[in-house]
Amino acid sequence: MARTRHVLFLVTILATIGPWAGRAMAQGDQPAQPENPVAVEPTVEQAANLPSAESLFERYVQEAGGLEAMRKLKNRKQEGIMTTQPVRTKSFFTVWFVNPNKLFARIERPGEPITEIVYDGQIGWRRFGNDYIPITGDDLVRLKEGADFLGEANYKQRYTSLKTVQKIPDFGGTPVYAVRVKSVNDKAYMVFFDADTGILRGVETTVGEGNRRRLLQAEVRDFKRVGGVLYPMTTIRRTLVTKDQITEERVAFDTIEVNVDDVPSFERPASLVETNENAPGESGGG
């Protein structure tokens, strides 16, 4: 389940910060550390000097190429290599996003059965080898949010509240504005926008409960224009396990394609159909 949750967060981040324009980080940039930099509300004077959350999102949407260009795309396929630290492992990672709200992720690690995580627009499941396991609860909520094809460009529908709370002097080597958001599913995130260029630099959230609660942070680098929209080619996910222990997963994409024909089937496994008779799904890749 822990690996599933990590992959859920990763694919959520890939959708959340999916289409956006920006610059690659310089070779000497230092990685942002996953410490919560926005725990304190700004004073009235500080708030008066901060741009509104709405203006930051709107600037991002325009930098990304606009909603019209994003909505024209039928799907997106991303292929790359996932590596982890401090225990070094390597996996082949492929994810398909189908407009408007389907997601299919496949992880292939040498010597292990294939792992797949799927959201068909209504329910989600995980396949490990020949076993199919329903995804439920908070994990399903985050998977549903991650399947939103438009990601942050769809902020008016994704969030019930947004507020710029602070300007942070250094996030991955650049100053950023931190925007606190709450999703329609009552999940809280921090979204970071480059203070100079307006690009989206990362997302932060927490998962788990009580003593098992963990801070997760994603940062993106390197960009490529595909189908009129710019996408990050590198995603770095950091987990603050303890004050002195940080784990890292990095996905470096070799290719990003749009409007592809090789979308996998979203047909539900027979073992799940019986338990979801009241939630009919759709077959095919869309």
Give the domain CATH number at 265.
Answer: 2.50.20.10
In a domain, 280, yes or no: no
**Spatial distance between the Cα atoms of 96 and 257, rounded to a whole number of angstroms:** 10
Q: What is the largest CA-CA distance in the chain?
A: 59
Q: What is the pLDDT of residue 285?
A: 45
Phi-psi region of 242 (alpha: psi -120 to 50; beta: other; left: phi over 0): beta
**Spatial distance between the Cα atoms of 7 and 21, rounded to a whole number of angstroms:** 24
**Spatial distance between the Cα atoms of 278 and 42, rounded to a whole number of angstroms:** 47
Residue range(s) defining the domain that contains residue 193: 2-273
In a domain, 286, yes or no: no
Which of these, 237, 224, 262, 263, lies nearest to 18 by C-alpha position? 224
In a domain, 284, yes or no: no
In a domain, 279, yes or no: no
In a domain, 244, yes or no: yes
Q: Over the stretch 169-198, which tens digit does the pLDDT of each residue have?
A: 988 888 999 999 999 988 899 999 989 988
**Cross-strand pairs, 149:** none
Q: How many CA atoms does the CB half-sphere of 142 hold within 13 Å?
A: 23
Q: What is the pLDDT of residue 271?
A: 83
In a domain, 282, yes or no: no
In a domain, 233, yes or no: yes
Report the domain count for the chain: 1
Q: What is the pLDDT of residue 46?
A: 66
Q: Which residues of the chain have pLDDT under 70?
A: 1-46, 208-211, 274-286
Q: 157-160 long-range CB contacts below 8 Å, 24 or more apart?
A: 157/184, 158/183, 158/184, 159/183, 159/184, 160/184
How much is the pTM? 0.79
Q: What is the pLDDT of residue 73?
A: 96
Give how far the C-alpha of residue 109 lies from the chain's centroid of Cα atoms, to the nearest Å: 21
Which of these, 219, 221, 204, 217, lies nearest to 246 by C-alpha position? 217
In a domain, 127, yes or no: yes
Q: What is the pLDDT of residue 114?
A: 92
